[in-house]
Amino acid sequence: MATISDVAAKAGVSTATVSRALNGKSTVDPQLVARVRTAVDELGYQPNGLARNLRRQETAVLALIISDVENPFFTAIARGVEDVAQTAGYSVVLCNSDEKPDKERRYLDVALQERVAGVVLCPAGTATGVELLRQRGTPVVAVDRPLPGEPGDQVLVNTRLAAREATTHLLDAGYRRVGCVTGPSGIRTADERLAGYRDALGAAGMAPTSAPFRHAEYHRADGARAAAVELLDLAEPPDALLIANSAMAIGVLEALAGRGLRPGRDIGVVAFDDPPWATLIDPPLSVVAQPTYQIGSAAAELLLARIGDPDRPPVTRTLAAQLIPRGSSRGGRHREVTGGSRSPGSR
Amino acid sequence: MATISDVAAKAGVSTATVSRALNGKSTVDPQLVARVRTAVDELGYQPNGLARNLRRQETAVLALIISDVENPFFTAIARGVEDVAQTAGYSVVLCNSDEKPDKERRYLDVALQERVAGVVLCPAGTATGVELLRQRGTPVVAVDRPLPGEPGDQVLVNTRLAAREATTHLLDAGYRRVGCVTGPSGIRTADERLAGYRDALGAAGMAPTSAPFRHAEYHRADGARAAAVELLDLAEPPDALLIANSAMAIGVLEALAGRGLRPGRDIGVVAFDDPPWATLIDPPLSVVAQPTYQIGSAAAELLLARIGDPDRPPVTRTLAAQLIPRGSSRGGRHREVTGGSRSPGSR
DNA sequence: TTGTAGGCGTTATCAA
DNA sequence: TTGATAACGCCTACAA
């Protein structure tokens, strides 16, 4: 593979001149520049990024570590990160931690070893190893979930409030026993959504402790389906469900269909995320839409700012999720007829 | 940032010994290894991957360039690539070409400059720049779409045959005027699916040239929706539709709903890809499922084999897609009763 | 078994 | 303006 010396030899100049010519440095004789260029073309020379980075002690690469490539929530974030990074001249490499701390750790090591310019991280578990990044001074922005320890730059969603609003919405629609299927215990978004759900119950004068809920895996419909079945089999089954993401919503909706329960009539349903198929099903799914793309772009902006000025104070950006009521959370027919009596129903 | 010399100094040995100890090389005094390890821990030393790669002239990084991060088809492939790569000790960096040749080109340049060990590429457009990789001897495996020029390693899906089977299935179900919404002209899968669709019509004795079809963007529901509307507005509208992917299926199904047309009764529908919501809608969507994960794992295997032996003959792996008939392609009720009169409409 | 020293391909410093 | 030269941090003959 051709090196800079080959080019220099062919152009009859020194390697220094080639380097300067190629990097558009200061004043180089235009004639020499031309000679260098033709030599480059003839040799098919491609600068060795490895050597360059080693010398410069920096790379124009950002690492984005997410916990599930197959989750549209994260891929939308990826797009936001990428667009901002691209325009700033950075490349983005996407790493999939699969919600596994050891895989995350491994990618963090790689990021460190490859000396990436910065990392956007959606922490899985306790994010051991992020300490290393901090020690090294490698800029990190946490996304969707905060990093343990003292806060650095982060972009979060006010998901607890959103869960509370969604639950209140179900209550207002006349549902009296709202249940919740949330993500794995220990994952911040899952815990927050459960907390927000309980907030709403408490505010409505209900005992949050007796609230019917289940944990399930975020990325598989199976677990959520089983969780829904369990809830439906309760002595006092819920008449409405808050679901913590769209992958789980699929499992839950399957379970409901299996029981012949129709959302919006027999049972109220609101799910986090606004997947493209939400309006396709009958009735359309009420959702809590998250500003995914903005999460990504905001994270990238924060990261670039941090790279530019390592000493700026850390900033937390909290974005709002938006409740979009659709058919699946309309009050049930039965409820409309009998008129919700004592419960905190509306209408 | 601590370097290998720092460690050597602290452990009271030479850099060579540190290097050997850390890389588990041959015979190093266990006592020295221990000293080195503690020094490493105390300094928080992380080897500089840049320098290492420069020296070794190789990286344990694979680049995966896909045309749409938000398309589940590609993210499933990514997972397949990643799993195989991981177990072989390689990291995977995912790059999103966004179906734009210049972005693809840019990422190929980066891959080249960073001297990745190999590239899995889903070519956008004519994949200019892949020539560079080939000249350089950087292993490439094409996925989903073949590379122009003489064939290298590639993993394809027999999508033309699958389209033909799906169309025949619709014909067999009693639909008489099958239409097609395919992807952008020039993209291999889109063209192949259209061709397969025409194959089926031809085999059934119909004139493929008069077949009602439209092209639309792969990743947006909008275009497909508009395309469907156009087809439905035809003087002789189709009574069944073959749709080239699931994102477009959403647009088409919306258009059908807008017209009050019920899949499986008023109009037959089969779409490529088997999204999780396919069984959630009513009636369930008939699909052509593609072996996405296997595509990815096969591609990674081919790439690793090529890295191991640059001189092996190129291999093409063609995988089969599978038709999964569900409710949306049942023959219409009217059709079953009257038994196929003349007009292509139902009811 | 350990240490010395050279080089991977660039860029930056310093003279000329 | 250009060129020789010294790093960047690591690995690996080769020598001890």
Residues of chain B with pLDDT under 70: 26, 127, 332-347
Q: Along chain A (347 residues), what's the average pLDDT of each consecutive run of 10 residues?
A: 94 95 87 94 93 92 92 94 92 88 88 92 81 86 90 96 98 95 94 96 86 94 96 95 97 96 96 95 96 98 95 96 97 48 36
Token couple for B322: 């599978």
Q: Are B69 and A85 in contact (CB under 8 A)?
A: no
**A46 vs B92, B106, B113: nearest CB:** B113
How high is the pLDDT of residue A332? 60
Measure, in angstroms, how far nucleotide D16 C1' is from residue B33 CA: 21
Q: Please report the domains of chain B, with CATH numbers, ordered by start residue.
A: 1-47 (1.10.260.40), 48-157+292-320 (3.40.50.2300), 159-289+324-338 (3.40.50.2300)
List chain D nucleotides near protein: any atom < 7 Å from a Cβ. 1-5, 7-13
Contact assignment for B50 to A46 by CB distance below 8 Å: no
- Does B78 touch chain A if contact means CB atoms closer than 8 Å? yes
Q: Is the CB of A15 under 7 A from strand C?
A: yes
pTM of the model: 0.88
Residues sharing a CB contact under 8 Å with residue A92, sequence separation 6 or more, in sequence order: A61, A62, A63, A64, A78, A81, A82, A85, A86, B95, B96
Contact assignment for B70 to A79 by CB distance below 8 Å: yes
**Nearest residue of A to residue B69 by CA position?**
A75
Q: What is the dihedral of CA B191, B196, B198, B200, to 10 degrees?
A: -170
Chain B residues lying within 8 Å of A59, measured CB to CB: 50
| CA-CA-CA-CA torsion sign (B249, B255, B260, B265) | negative
How high is the pLDDT of residue A270? 98
Stated length of chain A:
347
How high is the pLDDT of residue A103? 87
**A250 vs B109, B113, B277: nearest CB:** B277
Q: Which of A47, A277, A26 is nearest to B72 (CA)?
A: A277
- The neighbouring-strand residues paired with A323 are A288
How high is the pLDDT of residue B338? 40
Q: Compute the C-alpha angle B175/B178/B182, nearest 5°.
A: 145
Phi, psi torsion values for A326, nearest 5 degrees: -135, -160
Count of CB atoms situated within 10 Å of the CB of A135: 12
**Residue of B74, B105, B280 to mutate when probing chain A, most A C-beta within 10 A:** B280
Measure, in angstroms, how far nucleotide C15 C1' is from residue A3 CA: 26
Contact assignment for B276 to A250 by CB distance below 8 Å: yes
Q: How far apart are CA A316 and CA A120, in angstroms?
A: 14
CB-based burial, B284-319: b 16+ in 10 Å, e otherwise: bbbbbebbbebbbbbbbbbbbebbeeeeeeeeebeb
- Can you give the three-state secondary structure of chain A, one letter per residue? CCCHHHHHHHHCCCHHHHHHHHCCCCCCCHHHHHHHHHHHHHHCCCCCHHHHHHHHCCCCEEEEEECCCCCHHHHHHHHHHHHHHHHCCCEEEEEECCCCHHHHHHHHHHHHHCCCCEEEECCCCCCCCHHHHHHHCCCEEEECCCCCCCCCEEEEECHHHHHHHHHHHHHHCCCCCEEEEECCCCCHHHHHHHHHHHHHHHHCCCCHHHCCEEECCCCCHHHHHHHHHHHHCCCCCCCEEEECCHHHHHHHHHHHHHCCCCECCCEEEEEECCCHHHHCCCCCCEEEECCHHHHHHHHHHHHHHHHHCCCCCCCEEEECCEEECCHHHCCCHHHHHHCCCCCCCCC
How high is the pLDDT of residue B332? 61
Contact assignment for B1 to A54 by CB distance below 8 Å: no
Q: Going by DSSP bridges, is the β-strand pair B140-143/B118-121 parallel, antiparallel, or unpaired?
A: parallel
Phi, psi torsion values for A325, nearest 5 degrees: -75, 130
Q: Are A181 and A240 in contact (CB under 8 A)?
A: no
Q: How far apart are CA B288 and CA B203, in angstroms?
A: 20
Q: Going by DSSP bridges, is the β-strand pair B286-289/B322-324 parallel, antiparallel, or unpaired?
A: antiparallel
How high is the pLDDT of residue A114? 87
Chain A residues lying within 8 Å of B92, measured CB to CB: 95-96
